[in-house]
Amino acid sequence: MNILFAAAEAAPFVKIGGLGDVAGTLPRYLKDRGHDIRIVLPRYGAIDRERFGLSAMPGPLGVPMGSSGTLWCEVLEGRPPGTDIPVYFLERRDLFDRPGVYDDPSGKGYGDNAFRFLFLSRGALETARRLSFPPGVIHVHDWHTAAVPLYLDALYRRDPLLERSATVLTIHNLEHQGIFPRELMDVLGTGRHYFHTGDLEFYNEVNLLKSGIIHGDVVSTVSPTYAREMTTPEFGCRLDGVLRTYAPDLTGILNGVDYGEWNPEKDPWISQPYGSDDLSGKGKNKADLQTALGLPVAEGIPVVGMVTRLVHQKGMDVVASVIHRLLDRGIQLVLLGSGESWAHDFFSAVASDRPDRFACRLGYDPVLAHRIIAGSDLFLMPSRFEPCGLTQMFALRYGTLPVVRAAGGLNDTVENFDGATGAGTGFKFYDLTGDAVVNTLSWALSVFRDSPETVKALRKRAMSRRFSWEDTAGQYERLYHRAAKKRET
């Protein structure tokens, strides 16, 4: 099948979050399954032409932008290293040559983000035409490229190349919807008649994600539980009704894990590699972690790790509200993260108050992330919502038992401990309250204290779980066929 990916990020060229991982990795596995897959991205200033060997395609590409007229851009072509996947970069320095991808250095979204990503969306379709590449499926991601299905329906269905292309929209995070003033309709260029409740209109503004849900042939998200949650008022971010109406067969497909990078037997960042048949190496990693972070080195004190963005989504406010109760349970808590400034101040202050119980490192540090995941006994993720979540899957592979709120992908990847049978791979709670966090952690600690054999069995089982990209790609393939079939009928 011919597949066109349009996304705002794709590793290794540009990665801000989970979207970059998926758009960077999934195409490789789809290619392995025999598909002709191509990707369209913006050429951000940080994507180095030389380093990635990008070359300019002949002739400029015209991208019609409604009332702003046609914008011309250069198209650069490259390949992700080690692959034969063509990636087309739209080169417009005025739009994309900036220090950030979405935000300026102060963390504020660029004022012309709607324009930038509509340019990408329409530019992706124009790139397909330029290449004479008829996509069987166009796979778009989040609000940035969610206008593609609308563009197709409104403007390209008489184009012999695109008339039959099906669309799949994957929502990686429902919180970001691309909501802009109604004047955006002029730039969109589809005609103002699309501005109504059954289409783009959303509380008198334009909602690009909503248009993708309505016009996309198939809508998916990144875990089965999040797919269900999204249709409820608690998790639906005001689009739950739209999803229930327009995407009744909303599908959740878990992201895969790169086990080349996350493998305790071959991890170059940890002091002692280990496998599930000999967990003694894990103890050495724990001692090294305690030493590195200035905590008392003691095998008997359970270490609870966290590697996370310090934001509301991750439940950091709830952790803050009970942190002293947690520390009083006789644990050492280790936190690596960055995010909201209150959290930086708060957690730093607690770390200086209780240096024997709490170590906090602010910033982004992939090596320390590996060491924490390897050296901790338990891994805490009290997320308010979690579309998929990767870190709990890493923790499982390292035999570090997750203590999680049963939301989204956390619910789908962690099996709750069952005291009667000994089954499970972690510990879950359901309501996001301080009491639930404290009680669930206390439950896990009691298992550690009373039954080391049970813990060993849990660790082994956790380490045997796999979330493979091969499996994920197979599920997307089935989704593409469903979308294509829907388009035919």
Identify the residue among 127, 223, 251, 308 touching ligand ADP (CB under 6 A): 308
Torsion angle of C-alpha atoms 419, 421, 426, 432, degrees rounded to 10: -50
With respect to ligand ADP, which residue has the nearer C-beta, 290 or 391? Answer: 391
From 38-46, 323-331, 359-367, 478-486, span contacting ligand ADP (CB under 6 A): 359-367
With respect to ligand ADP, which residue has the nearer C-beta, 95 or 310? Answer: 310
Is there binding between residue 17 and ligand ADP (CB under 6 A)?
yes
Identify the residue among 42, 302, 305, 389 touching ligand ADP (CB under 6 A): 389
From 43-51, 129-137, 382-390, 466-474, span contacting ligand ADP (CB under 6 A): 382-390
157 touches 164 (CB < 8 A):
no
Among residues 239, 83, 256, the alpha carbon closest in space to that of 146 is found at: 239
Residues in the chain: 489
Q: At CA 208, angle to CA 205 and CA 212, rounded to 5? A: 135
How many residues of this chain bind ligand ADP (CB under 6 A)? 16
Q: How far is the CB of 404 from ligand ADP (least distance, A)?
A: 11
CA–CA gap between residue 77 and residue 90 (Å, rounded): 9
CA–CA gap between residue 89 and residue 318 (Å, rounded): 42
371 touches 267 (CB < 8 A):
no
With respect to ligand ADP, which residue has the nearer C-beta, 37 or 388? Answer: 388
CA–CA gap between residue 121 and residue 132 (Å, rounded): 17
Q: How far is the CB of 390 from ligand ADP (least distance, A)?
A: 4
Is there binding between residue 391 and ligand ADP (CB under 6 A)?
yes
Amino acid at 394: F
CA–CA gap between residue 448 and residue 450 (Å, rounded): 6
What mask, x for binding ligand ADP by CB under 6 A, covers residues 18 to 47? x-----------------------------
CA–CA gap between residue 473 and residue 119 (Å, rounded): 28
**Sheet containing 205-207, strands listed edge to edge, beginning at the edge strand earlier in sequence:** 179-180, 205-207, 201-202
Gyration radius (Cα) of the chain, Å = 24
Is there binding between residue 4 and ligand ADP (CB under 6 A)?
no
Is there binding between residue 400 and ligand ADP (CB under 6 A)?
no
Is there binding between residue 307 and ligand ADP (CB under 6 A)?
yes
Q: How far is the CB of 202 from ligand ADP (least distance, A)?
A: 24
From 45-53, 113-121, 335-343, 417-425, span contacting ligand ADP (CB under 6 A): 335-343
Q: What three-state secondary structure class fits 421?
A: coil
With respect to ligand ADP, which residue has the nearer C-beta, 12 or 134? Answer: 12
Residue 445 makes CB contacts below 8 A (sequence gap 6+) with: 302, 329, 330, 331
With respect to ligand ADP, which residue has the nearer C-beta, 190 or 220? Answer: 220
Identify the residue among 205, 365, 443, 457 touching ligand ADP (CB under 6 A): 365
Identify the residue among 338, 454, 468, 475 touching ligand ADP (CB under 6 A): 338
Q: What three-state secondary structure class fits 33?
A: coil
Is there binding between residue 309 and ligand ADP (CB under 6 A)?
yes
Is there binding between residue 408 and ligand ADP (CB under 6 A)?
no
CA–CA gap between residue 306 and residue 366 (Å, rounded): 13
With respect to ligand ADP, which residue has the nearer C-beta, 146 or 369? Answer: 369
With respect to ligand ADP, which residue has the nearer C-beta, 364 or 430? Answer: 364
CA–CA gap between residue 200 and residue 213 (Å, rounded): 10
Identify the residue among 95, 214, 243, 336 touching ligand ADP (CB under 6 A): 336
Q: How far is the CB of 99 from ligand ADP (least distance, A)?
A: 20
Q: What single-letter DSSP state applies at residue 295?
A: -
CA–CA gap between residue 373 and residue 172 (Å, rounded): 24
The residue whose two tokens read 């998916």 is 220
Q: Is 301 exposed, middle or buried (0-12, 13-18, 19+ CB in 10 A)?
A: middle
Footprint (CB under 6 A) of ligand ADP, residues 173-192: none
Q: How far is the CB of 458 from ligand ADP (least distance, A)?
A: 21
From 63-71, 227-235, 275-283, 384-392, span contacting ligand ADP (CB under 6 A): 384-392
From 7-15, 117-125, 228-236, 334-342, span contacting ligand ADP (CB under 6 A): 334-342
CA–CA gap between residue 55 and residue 258 (Å, rounded): 29
Is there binding between residue 364 and ligand ADP (CB under 6 A)?
yes
Residues that bind ligand ADP (CB under 6 A): 17-18, 307-309, 336-338, 364-366, 369, 388-391
